[in-house]
Each structure stands twice: as structure tokens, then as C-alpha cells.
């Protein structure tokens, strides 16, 4: 089907091993290599983010875009959307990622009316379906962009104006239909402007309930049209709003429980969002995993110097090791995956930079997986952690854990046992252990 080539000079990216100095080869990611009982391909389910990779020309508040896309060659936005799709599938086939993700407006331009927008999206979805069929590529998740259009300046589902909520409903309905048509395995809600800019011109309780009502309506429609996948909420504490309602994993879990959404929704944890909330990436992965709600991951990283969403490609090996320890303990991430919600720097202007960025991200996680697996199987990591809790495994500690001791019982046991022994947390030993397994 492809007639144009957008990334000439770059062939299929292959695994060449750690000794290779070919910048267009994987050093660690080997899709068929089995680690901890599964191929790397199945562990990660890597996805390329359509918006950053094929739509974002790297403009910032200080200047216009620096990248020019060869697929932006027509004055008609609908034609360009088709060229962009062609370029995206060429990129996927060369990189070898099994999944991709999109917002409705990444795929097709908005029209002058709801009906025209629907027509544009349907046309692009049917083309994408053919590309998927021809290439074997799959859709990890679809979503609706409910933050870019000026009408959403005061929020989408939480907008104080009902007319705006209706438009948000129309967009989500269409994006859900697109996701189902393309066999998308998940559907994401990132509440970009679902929050407030000032607490005292906002009825927060009312807005939160509107968001719950909106999400239940979306869930019901999704199920009605045959969506069997997971709905995901992607937490972020701020930006673009001063305060976003989906602040972090713990906040979202409370919201899901309160709004009776626990059976259908899980969390999409994005590394840079978590650090913006002043937690570590691993912290929110752990919160979500331990609640049984770790649905998917937006893999990127922030910058310790900067307090905004820099969306760097993930190249931090420590982060990857920690994430993979949690994922291995979680039994994997499917039907979620690792989506590179990451963008090239403003001064990375060569088209081929997009390959280096993704190769680096995939290699970082592949290496992280092998190290995490080695730590879990061959070190005393588990004893270091679980060994600290053995006093709850039997006797009175076990009775406490089972809820069978009263506060009076605890007092009497304290009096009888006397001052507790000091037990080291062994933090430095644990930190050294991670470093020793980086080989």
C-alpha cells in the first residue's frame, strides 16, 4: 500500500548485541528473547505515541516549531493526515514496535461541525485498519484530546458549562468507536484540563461528580459497542491546570472507588507525571500494582532540575530496573504496555533522531528487565525486604495481622516483651546490591 518513503536510508532496526556500535541497532532489545518465562516483546508491549512522533513540530512558548515533516506536504489537512499515517506505519515497520497509541485529533483533523469531524475520523480509521491488517501492528490504546481546543479552556467533563460537556461526550463517543473499530486493547482518559485554575471560582465537589457521571456514561457506551479492554485514567498533578483532579495514583484510586468505577478502570502511570507529584516513578507503580490497578505505563522521564513535564525519552537505567522489578512481581502489564509518551528535544531536528530516541528507550527497558530478573532470582533482595516482617508470620504478630488483638493486648505485650531489639533496615546494602547487578 505504501508508495512514499519518509525515512530513507534507515532500514529495519535489528538486534546486534551490546558490542555493536551501530546507532541504528538494538544492543539489548531482542524481541524473541525469553526472560522470566516470556519474550521481551510480550513483557513490554512497546507502543509509539502518534502525537509526539508524527504531529509535534517542537514548538514551545518561546518559538515556533523547529522540525519539518515530509508528510506535511499538502495544504489540505485531511490529505496530510493520510500522508502522516503512511509515514507512521513506515516508521513502525522499521522500528519493530508492536503497538501504537493516538488521540482522535492526531489521526484526523477536526472539521467545522461534529458531523464533519466524525466523517474525517471514520475515513482515517478505515485507512488505519488496512495498515494494521497489512503490517500486523496493533493499537494499544486510543483516547480523545479534550484539552487542545479553546472550548476546553475551563475543562471538558468538569467544565462549568454543560454545552462543553456535550462536546466532550461527542469526542469520547467517536474516539471509543475508533478504538473498537481498530481493536484497541485499552482506552485512556488523561484529564488535561479536568481541574481548576482557582479554587474559589470552582465548585470542586460538583465538578468531581460530573467527571464520575461522564466516565460511567463512557464506560457504558464502550461496553455497549463491544469494547472489552481496560479503561485507564492517567494521573498527573498539574499542567496545564494549576491543580488536576487526577493528582496521583492514590488520589485516582480513591476517586474510582468513590465513583463505583473500580471494575472497569485501571491506571496508566506516566513516569514524568509521577515525579511532578513529588513521588518517584516506582512509588506510583507500586501504589497501583498493590491495589491490583496497574493498567499500563507511559514511559518517559523528567529532569531533576525542572519542575515541568519535559517528556524526555526514558534512558535512566535505575528507573527501568525499579519499574521492571515491580512489573515482574505484578505478573506483567498486559493488556497494557509501555507507551513512549516522550518527545524529541527542540534541537533534535533530524528525522532519524526519532529512531535513536526509541531505540534508546527500548534498550533501556530491555536491560532493566534482565537486571531486574537477575536481582529477583539470584540475590538476597527478597530476604532483605520480606525478612524485615517475619515477626508477623506467627505468634502474636500473626494474630495482630489477622485483626485479633486489641489495643489493650498490645499494651500488655509491650509491657511483657520490654524494649524491642534494634533491627537494621539495611538500606545501604540494598543500594549496593542494585549497583552490583548492573553488569
Does the protein bind Co ion through residue 341 (CB under 5 A)? yes
Which partner, Co ion, ligand XUL, none, binds residue 120 by CB below 5 to 8 Å per kind?
none
Site for Co ion in 259-278 (CB under 5 A): 270
Applying CB under 5 A, the span of 259-267, 297-305, 383-391, 404-412 interacting with Co ion comes to: 297-305
Lay out the site mask for Co ion across 118-157 (x = CB under 5 A, - = otherwise).
----------------------------------------
CB of residue 424 to ligand XUL, shortest distance in Å: 40
The C-alpha cell 465537589 sits at: 205
Which partner, Co ion, ligand XUL, none, binds residue 340 by CB below 5 to 8 Å per kind?
none
CB of residue 382 to Co ion, shortest distance in Å: 32
Based on CB atoms, which residue is closest to ligand XUL, 96 or 302?
302
Q: Is residue 198 flagged as an active site residue?
A: no
Of 43, 52, 72, 103, the catalytic one is: 103
Size of the site for Co ion (CB under 5 A): 3
Burial 53-89 (b: 16+ CB within 10 A, else e): bbbbebeeeeeeeebebebbeeeeeeebbbbbbbbbb
CA distance 375 to 211: 42
Based on CB atoms, which residue is closest to Co ion, 297 or 371?
297
**Which cell goes with 437?**
547487578
Based on CB atoms, which residue is closest to ligand XUL, 186 or 364?
186
CB of residue 31 to ligand XUL, shortest distance in Å: 24
Which partner, Co ion, ligand XUL, none, binds residue 185 by CB below 5 to 8 Å per kind?
none
CB of residue 273 to Co ion, shortest distance in Å: 7
Question: Which one of residues 298, 309, 311, 363 is an interface residue with Co ion (CB under 5 A)?
Answer: 298
Q: 359 Cβ partners below 8 Å, 6+ apart?
A: 13, 23, 24, 25, 26, 29, 95
CB of residue 10 to ligand XUL, shortest distance in Å: 25
Q: What are phi and psi of 53, to 5 degrees?
A: -80, -35
Does the protein bind Co ion through residue 284 (CB under 5 A)? no
Based on CB atoms, which residue is closest to ligand XUL, 234 or 264?
234
Lay out the site mask for Co ion across 76-115 (x = CB under 5 A, - = otherwise).
----------------------------------------
CB of residue 233 to ligand XUL, shortest distance in Å: 11
CA distance 172 to 161: 17
Does the protein bind Co ion through residue 246 (CB under 5 A)? no
Based on CB atoms, which residue is closest to Co ion, 35 or 172?
172
**Quick check: bond before 42 cis, omega within 30?**
no
The contact set with ligand XUL (CB under 6 A) reads: 103, 143, 188, 190, 234, 236, 270, 298, 309, 341
CB of residue 436 to Co ion, shortest distance in Å: 33
Based on CB atoms, which residue is closest to Co ion, 120 or 244?
244
CB of residue 272 to ligand XUL, shortest distance in Å: 8
**Which cell goes with 320?**
527501568
Which partner, Co ion, ligand XUL, none, binds residue 309 by CB below 5 to 8 Å per kind?
ligand XUL
Which partner, Co ion, ligand XUL, none, binds residue 236 by CB below 5 to 8 Å per kind?
ligand XUL
Q: Is residue 279 flagged as an active site residue?
A: no
Based on CB atoms, which residue is closest to Co ion, 284 or 341?
341
Of 72, 104, 106, 311, the catalytic one is: 106
Nearest residue to ligand XUL by CB is: 190
**Which cell goes with 209?**
461528580
Based on CB atoms, which residue is closest to ligand XUL, 23 or 307?
307
Q: Which residues are catalytic?
A: 103, 106
What is the contact surface with Co ion in residues (CB under 5 A)? 270, 298, 341
Amino acid at each position: 500500500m505504501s508508495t512514499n518513503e519518509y525515512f530513507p536510508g534507515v532500514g529495519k532496526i535489528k538486534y546486534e548485541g551490546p558490542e555493536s556500535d551501530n546507532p541504528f541497532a538494538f544492543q539489548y532489545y531482542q524481541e524473541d528473547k525469553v526472560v522470566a518465562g516470556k519474550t521481551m516483546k510480550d513483557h513490554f508491549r512497546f507502543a509509539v505515541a502518534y502525537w509526539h512522533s508524527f504531529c509535534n513540530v517542537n514548538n514551545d512558548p518561546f518559538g515556533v516549531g523547529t522540525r519539518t515533516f515530509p508528510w506535511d506536504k499538502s495544504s489540505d489537512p485531511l490529505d496530510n493526515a493520510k500522508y502522516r499515517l503512511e509515514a507512521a506505519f513506515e516508521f513502525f515497520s522499521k522500528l519493530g514496535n508492536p503497538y501504537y497509541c493516538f488521540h482522535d485529533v492526531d489521526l484526523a483533523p477536526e472539521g467545522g461541525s461534529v458531523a464533519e469531524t466524525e466523517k474525517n475520523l471514520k475515513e482515517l480509521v478505515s485507512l488505519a485498519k488496512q495498515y494494521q491488517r497489512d503490517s500486523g501492528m496493533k493499537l494499544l490504546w486510543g483516547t480523545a484530546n479534550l484539552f487542545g481546543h479553546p472550548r476546553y479552556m475551563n475543562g471538558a467533563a468538569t467544565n462549568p458549562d454543560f454545552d462543553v460537556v456535550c462536546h466532550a461526550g461527542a469526542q469520547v463517543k467517536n474516539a471509543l468507536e475508533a478504538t473498537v473499530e481498530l481493536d484497541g486493547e485499552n482506552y485512556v482518559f488523561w484529564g488535561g484540563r479536568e481541574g481548576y485554575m482557582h479554587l474559589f471560582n470552582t465548585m470542586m465537589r460538583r465538578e468531581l461528580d460530573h467527571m464520575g457521571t461522564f466516565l460511567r456514561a463512557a464506560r457504558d457506551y464502550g461496553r455497549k459497542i463491544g469494547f472489552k479492554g481496560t479503561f485507564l485514567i492517567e494521573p498527573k498533578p498539574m499542567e496545564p491546570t494549576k491543580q488536576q483532579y487526577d493528582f496521583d495514583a492514590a488520589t485516582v484510586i480513591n476517586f474510582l472507588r468513590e465513583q463505583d468505577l473500580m471494575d472497569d478502570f485501571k491506571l496508566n502511570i506516566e513516569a514524568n507525571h509521577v515525579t511532578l507529584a513529588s513521588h518517584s516513578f516506582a512509588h506510583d507503580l507500586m501504589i497501583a500494582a498493590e491495589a491490583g490497578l496497574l493498567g499500563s505505563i507511559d514511559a518517559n522521564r523528567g529532569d531533576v532540575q525542572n519542575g515541568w513535564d519535559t517528556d524526555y525519552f526514558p534512558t535512566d537505567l535505575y528507573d527501568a530496573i525499579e519499574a521492571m522489578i515491580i512489573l515482574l512481581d505484578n505478573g506483567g502489564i498486559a493488556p497494557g504496555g509501555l507507551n513512549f509518551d516522550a518527545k524529541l528535544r527542540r534541537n533534535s531536528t533530524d528525522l532519524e533522531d526519532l529512531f535513536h530516541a526509541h531505540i534508546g528507550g527500548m534498550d533501556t527497558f530491555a536491560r532493566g528487565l534482565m537486571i531486574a530478573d537477575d536481582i529477583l532470582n539470584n540475590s538476597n533482595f527478597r530476604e532483605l525486604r520480606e525478612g524485615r516482617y517475619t515477626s508477623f508470620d506467627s505468634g502474636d504478630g500473626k494474630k495482630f495481622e489477622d485483626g485479633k488483638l486489641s489495643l489493650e493486648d498490645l499494651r500488655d505485650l509491650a509491657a511483657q516483651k520490654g524494649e524491642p531489639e534494634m533491627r537494621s533496615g539495611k538500606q545501604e546494602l540494598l543500594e549496593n546490591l542494585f549497583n552490583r547487578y548492573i553488569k
